[in-house]
Amino acid sequence: MSLDWGYTDDNGPSTWAEKYPLAAGARQSPVDIDTSKATSDNSLVDREIDWSYPSNCSYRIVNTGYGWRVDTYGDDTALSGGPLSEVYKLEQFHCHWGATNDEGSEHTVDGKSYAAELHLVHWNSEKYSSFKEAASQPDGLAVLGVFMEIGNADNAELEKIISLIPKIIHKGQDSQASFDLDFGSLLPESKHYWTYLGSLTTPPCNECVIWTVFKEPITISERQLEVFRSLKSVGEEDAIEPEEGKLVKNYRPPLPLGNRVLRECGP
Ligand SMILES: Clc1ccc(Cc2nnn[n-]2)cc1
Ligand SMILES: [Zn+2]
């Protein structure tokens, strides 16, 4: 069964607009962050971005066929301040990566790619009654983007996710694992970031995301990234060769910023 969309030459980002017209919109993500175009904005400094994630909010990890996704209980989570006018709740987090370490992030900075990019997806629970409703609104979602660069040491918190990957190698597999995660270790120390109005980076590419991309990367080891790449984009029942169907890349290349404003908080 051929996939509606994906990351191969046949169904990759350049083909998405054929079936998902929003993908051709003027408010698409990711973008290349041209640091010379970023404007400072005191209102971002006055209302510091703030988050709260209880360590026990993660309850399930699933292979979506496009990567791994950790589903979270949002009730006791909160993201506010910075570019956000309301309080957003954490819905899920996931990651994008490439076949080699010199690609993999979705956003780029002055043309530079990082090896991977972590996305924490939140929804505006003050204004909307569900994630689904929020995903159809221009201020419905808030995604935190965290660049990941290769480092020598394993990231200990990521290791808790890595250890579950062997249980979800095939598309559709999930592990109902309530696991304790210190989100502080999945976010950079610095709260400096860029922010702009964009979209989901996969179909249907809804233009509903207020993006916050942190300037400081976190580290991931080469071994850990290889484990991500061992995930398969096909189900266990799809008889394929062992090396086939590996999810070696799941990132969308940058789209034009166009006439959107790119703001920054911090040097
Ligand atoms: Cl619900 C949903 C759909 C697609 C994505 C993919 C994505 N969009 N922005 N970052 N990742 C995330 C959540
Ligand atoms: Zn994402």
The model's pLDDT over 67-81, given as tens digits with 9 standing for 90+, comes to 999 999 999 999 999
Neighbours of ion ligand 2 (CB under 5 A): 119
Confidence label for 1 from pLDDT (cuts 50, 70 and 90): low
Q: Residue 61 Cα, ligand 2 centroid: separation in angstroms? A: 15
Confidence label for 244 from pLDDT (cuts 50, 70 and 90): confident
Confidence label for 37 from pLDDT (cuts 50, 70 and 90): very high
Ligand 1, atom nearest to 66 Cα: 6
| Strand 263-265 relative to strand 39-40, pairing | parallel
Q: Residue for token digits 């006018």?
A: 85
Q: Is the pLDDT of residue 2 over 80?
A: no
Q: Is 224 exposed, middle or buried (0-12, 13-18, 19+ CB in 10 A)?
A: buried
Q: Is the pLDDT of residue 32 over 80?
A: yes
Q: Is 229 exposed, middle or buried (0-12, 13-18, 19+ CB in 10 A)?
A: middle
- Ligand located closest to 130 CA: 1
The model's pLDDT over 56-65, given as tens digits with 9 standing for 90+, comes to 999 999 999 9
The model's pLDDT over 144-165, given as tens digits with 9 standing for 90+, comes to 999 999 999 888 899 999 999 9
Higher pLDDT, 95 or 156: 95
For the Cβ of 141 lying below 6 angstroms from any atom of ligand 1, the answer is: no
Nearest residue (CA) to ligand 1, atom 9: 200
AA identity, residue 154: D
The helix (run of H) or strand (run of E) holding residue 149 is: strand 141-150
